[in-house]
């Protein structure tokens, strides 16, 4: 099961609710249940949100669109913040990061 | 404001470079099936027949090679994690091949192997040289060693060797520049192309794409390197045997090496399938997986031919069936499947990339008609099996019905490609 590291759990939950609408178009599952999000930190002084996320594969042809969609979803929920999204592949994504709902969706 | 740091994503090659290759390939497939429909009686005769040569080159160059060149301009940057060196060279490669292939096919069809055919062959060679330079510089700029990229590069070198031999064979028709007639070297030209270019490339790219589309974490570099050495070893030993003029039976050695490589690749795909995360497998991946099994058919036919040759019995029907099972069999099957796994993403990125987050976007697989795809699959499989039967039994009626089915396949394929290319955004 995936755990998103954060320094503000309440706002992180709001962010995850927004990111729940961002779908990986190939798999048809949202990026939260896929476990693509590693860290969401809030810098309240400078009004910046740092998002660290990954993709199921570095070769993903939709990677740029998924990241762009995630940025727009975050911006919509936190309009007063600058959203800084970093794509990381270390540690690589693994299927253990898929949530229980995600597993059910993929096992259909 | 949204900013991105630590950008590990490779910039995609622009769709303007890639899509023309797909369109050209789709039209070539249609042209090849029309030629097949008009020339089905040629498949009851010897394989060195003008129409058979025209159809083979339309399939090998116009269909197989053009779509692979297009897809690899998109895939290679992803494989090597670096940008494509030059879009201009890619366009030049398209222009040269696009002009050269019809000249070659026309010359084979009319069997006037004069300066027109030679010009066509020179243009095709120029296209491959542009592609190879682009590939070599792109790979040299990459920081990571990648087995898939090595497969693609080696395959492209074999492609250039194939097209250079092709040019020499054409020149040999008008002026005797080789020790023997061109027909003698035909199997060399064909096998370097089939094994060196198509097989090596399909394995190199397929071993990356099939696990990716199955969402499988299976990866086995050692096995891929073993396959790489088996295929190249097989080809090199074939060339040595060809020029040393030894006993036909010894050709079993390169054949066994290729067969072992195919079995290992089939095992690789099966492992990826077993370890997939998504249980449902879509039809496009299914037909691509089927093509892996279809690779074994030409190997069996070739084995039978070698055994017959040992007893000094050459069988032209088997040779035709062998060629048909390669170009209309596994090669076409994998292209039919993979087109609808790669082109939807290219079109989706073109249409929706700048509209991300502005509303609900369709999934890439919604850009083409699934029902037309399924009908195409049925027409293709029945047409392929029937045509093969027609060749082996010299049945004119089976060949006629099968060529209609394959023509229907090409029409449905083109319909879906066109549907994707004309897709209008569903959100503003």
CB–CB of A88 and B6 under 8 A? yes
Minimal-distance CA residue of chain B relative to A96: B277
Assign B191 a pLDDT band (cuts: 50, 70, 90).
very high
pLDDT of B234 > 80? The answer is: yes
- Is residue A89 very low, low, confident or very high in pLDDT (cuts 50, 70, 90)? confident
For residue A72, pLDDT over 90 is answered with no
Interface contact flag, A68 B208, Cβ < 8 Å: no
Substitution target in B4, B209, B349 with the highest count of A β-carbons within 10 Å is: B4
Nearest-angstrom CA–CA distance, B331 and B316: 21
pTM of the model: 0.88
* Contact (CB<8Å) A85/B363: no
Across the interface, do A107 and B279 touch by the CB < 8 Å criterion? yes
Partner residue facing A25 (CB), from B4, B357, B364: B364
Residue bearing the bigger pLDDT, B41 or B307:
B307
The size of chain A, in residues, is 108
Tell me the three state secondary structure of residue A86: strand
pLDDT of residue A1: 52
d(CA B21, CA B91): 9
The predicted pLDDT at position B144 comes to 72
What average pLDDT does this structure show over B285-311? 83
Contact B20, B95 (CB under 8 A): no
| DSSP string for residues in B270-296 | HHHHHTBS-S---HHHHHHHHHHHHTH
Q: Which of A24-28, B73-77, B103-107 has the highest mean pLDDT?
A: B103-107
Within 10 angstroms of residue B91's Cβ, the number of other Cβ atoms is 15
B245 has a pLDDT exceeding 90: no
Distance (Å, whole) CA B174 – CA B107:
13
**pLDDT tens-place string over residues A31-57:** 999 999 999 999 999 999 999 999 887
> Angle A13-A17-A18 (CA atoms, 0-180°, nearest 5)?
120
| Residue B201 scores a pLDDT above 70 | yes
Give the pLDDT confidence score for residue B4 in this predicted structure: 64
pLDDT of residue B389: 93
> What's chain B's average pLDDT?
89
- Do the chains contact at B348 and A62, CB–CB below 8 Å? yes
Summarize the confidence of residues B316-323 as an average pLDDT: 86
Query: How close are the terminal C-alpha atoms of chain B, in Å?
Result: 21
Alpha carbons B375 and B355: distance in angstroms, whole number? 32
Mean pLDDT value of segment B8-13: 67
Rounded to an integer, the average pLDDT of B324-339 is: 92
Paired strand residues for B5: A86
- B130-178 residue pLDDT tens: 999 999 999 888 777 789 889 999 999 999 999 999 999 999 988 889 9
Residue B73: pLDDT over 80: yes
A50 strand-pairing partners = A41, A84
What is residue A2's predicted lDDT score, i.e. its pLDDT?
63
Q: Per-residue pLDDT averaged across B103-107, rounded? A: 96
Alpha carbon distance B48, B314 (integer Å): 14
Q: What are the pLDDT digits (tens) for B75-95?
A: 888 777 778 899 999 999 999
Instruction: Give tens-digit pLDDT for B393-406.
Output: 989 999 999 999 99
Q: Which two tokens stand for residue B371?
A: 């029902």
For chain A, which residues lie within 8 Å of any Cβ of chain B, measuring from their own Cβ? 23, 25-28, 56-65, 67-69, 71-76, 82-89, 94-95, 98, 106-108
Using CB atoms, pick whichever of B3, B81, B364 lies closest to residue A26.
B364
The residue that leads in pLDDT, B356 or B193, is: B193
Mean pLDDT taken over chain A: 87
Reported confidence tier of residue B390, pLDDT bands at 50, 70, 90? very high
CB contacts of A26 in chain B (<8 Å) are 213, 345, 363-364
* pLDDT value at residue B80: 79
Q: How far is CA B282 from the centre of its chain?
A: 21
Name residue A48's beta-bridge partners. A43, A82
Strand partners, B297: none
Q: Are strands A5-6 and A48-53 parallel, antiparallel or unpaired?
A: unpaired
Partner residues linked to A53 by β-bridges:
A37, A87
- Taking the CA atoms of residue B160, residue B161, residue B165 and residue B166 in that order, the dihedral angle to the nearest 10 degrees is -30
Q: What is the pLDDT of residue B9?
A: 63
Residue B2, pLDDT above cutoff 80: no
Label residue B266 exposed, middle or buried (CB < 10 Å: 0-12, 13-18, 19+): middle
Neighbours of B3 (CB within 10 A): 11
- Residue B216 β-bridge partners: B276
Query: What DSSP string describes A22-65?
Result: -EETTTTEETTTTT-EEEEEEETTTTEEEEEE--S-TT-TTHHH
pLDDT of the residue at B247: 75
Instruction: Calculate how close chain B gets to A97, using CA atoms only, in Å.
Output: 12
Are the beta carbons of B357 and A57 separated by less than 8 Å?
A: no
Residue B7 with chain A: CB contacts under 8 Å: 87
- What value does the CA radius of gyration of chain B take, rounded to a whole number of Å? 21
Give the span between the Cα atoms of B33 and B59, in whole angstroms. 9
In the block, which residue shows the tokens 């706002």? A11
Residue B263, pLDDT > 70, answer: yes
**Closest residue to B2, CB basis, from A56, A85, A107:** A85
The mean per-residue pLDDT over the stretch B235-251 comes to: 88
Residue B284: the pLDDT is 83
Lowest mean pLDDT: which of B17-31, B49-63, B162-176, B278-292?
B278-292
Q: What's the CA gap between B339 and B79, in Å, rounded?
A: 18
Q: What is the DSSP letter of B85?
A: S
- DSSP conformation letters of B125-179: HHHHHHHHHHHHHHHHT-SS--HHHHHHHHHHHHHHHHHHHHHHHHHHHHS--SS
The shortest C-alpha distance from B277 to chain A (Å) reads 7
- Nearest CB among B2, B215, B356 relative to A27 is that of B215
How far is A61 from B364, CA to CA, in rounded Å?
11
Residues 6+ apart with CB under 8 A from B161: B192, B196
Distance CA A49, CA A73 (A): 13
């Amino acid at each position: 099961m995936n755990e998103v590291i954060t320094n503000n759990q309440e706002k992180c939950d709001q962010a995850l609710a927004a990111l729940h609408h961002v779908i990986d178009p190939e798999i048809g599952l949202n990026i939260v249940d896929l476990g693509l999000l590693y860290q969401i930190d809030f810098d309240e002084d400078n009004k910046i949100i740092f998002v660290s996320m990954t993709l199921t594969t570095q070769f993903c042809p939709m990677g740029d669109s998924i990241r762009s969609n995630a940025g727009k979803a975050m911006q919509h929920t936190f309009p007063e913040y600058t959203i800084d999204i970093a794509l990381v592949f270390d540690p690589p994504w693994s299927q253990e990061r898929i949530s229980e709902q995600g597993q059910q969706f993929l096992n259909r | 404001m949204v900013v991105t740091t630590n950008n590990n994503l490779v910039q995609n090659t622009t769709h303007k470079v890639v899509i023309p290759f797909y369109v050209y390939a789709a039209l070539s497939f249609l042209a090849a099936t029309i030629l097949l429909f008009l020339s089905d009686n040629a498949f009851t005769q010897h394989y060195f027949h003008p129409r058979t040569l025209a159809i083979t080159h339309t399939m090998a160059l116009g269909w197989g090679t053009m779509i692979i060149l297009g897809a690899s301009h998109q895939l290679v940057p992803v494989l090597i994690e670096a940008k494509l060196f030059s879009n201009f060279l890619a366009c030049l490669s398209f222009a040269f091949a696009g002009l050269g292939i019809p000249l070659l096919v026309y010359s084979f069809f009319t069997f006037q192997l004069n300066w027109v055919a030679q010009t066509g062959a020179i243009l095709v060679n120029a296209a491959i040289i542009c592609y190879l330079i682009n590939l070599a510089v792109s790979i040299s700029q990459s920081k990571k060693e990648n087995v898939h990229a090595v497969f693609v590069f080696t395959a492209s070198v074999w492609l250039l060797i194939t097209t250079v031999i092709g040019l020499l064979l054409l020149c040999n028709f008008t002026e005797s520049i080789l020790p023997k007639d061109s027909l003698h070297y035909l199997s060399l030209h064909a096998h370097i192309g089939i094994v060196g270019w198509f097989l090596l490339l399909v394995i190199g790219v397929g071993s990356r794409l099939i696990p990716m589309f199955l969402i499988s974490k299976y990866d086995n570099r050692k096995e891929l390197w073993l396959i790489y050495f088996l295929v190249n070893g097989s080809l090199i030993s074939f060339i040595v045997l060809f020029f040393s003029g030894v006993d036909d039976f010894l050709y079993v050695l390169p054949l066994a090496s290729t067969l072992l490589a195919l079995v290992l690749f089939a095992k690789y795909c099966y492992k990826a399938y077993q370890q997939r995360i998504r249980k449902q497998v879509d039809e496009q991946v299914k037909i691509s997986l089927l093509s892996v099994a279809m690779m074994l058919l030409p190997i069996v036919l070739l084995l039978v031919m070698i055994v017959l040759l040992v007893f000094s019995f050459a069988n032209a029907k088997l040779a035709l069936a062998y060629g048909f099972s390669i170009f209309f069999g596994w090669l076409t099957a994998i292209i039919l499947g993979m087109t609808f796994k790669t082109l939807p993403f290219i079109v989706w990125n073109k249409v929706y990339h700048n509209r991300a987050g502005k509303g609900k976007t369709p999934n890439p697989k919604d850009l083409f008609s699934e029902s037309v795809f399924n009908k195409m699959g049925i027409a293709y499989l029945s047409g392929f099996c029937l045509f093969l039967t027609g060749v082996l039994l010299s049945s004119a009626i089976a060949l006629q019905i099968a060529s209609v089915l394959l023509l229907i396949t090409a029409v449905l394929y083109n319909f879906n490609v066109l549907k994707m290319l004309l897709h209008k955004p569903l959100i503003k």
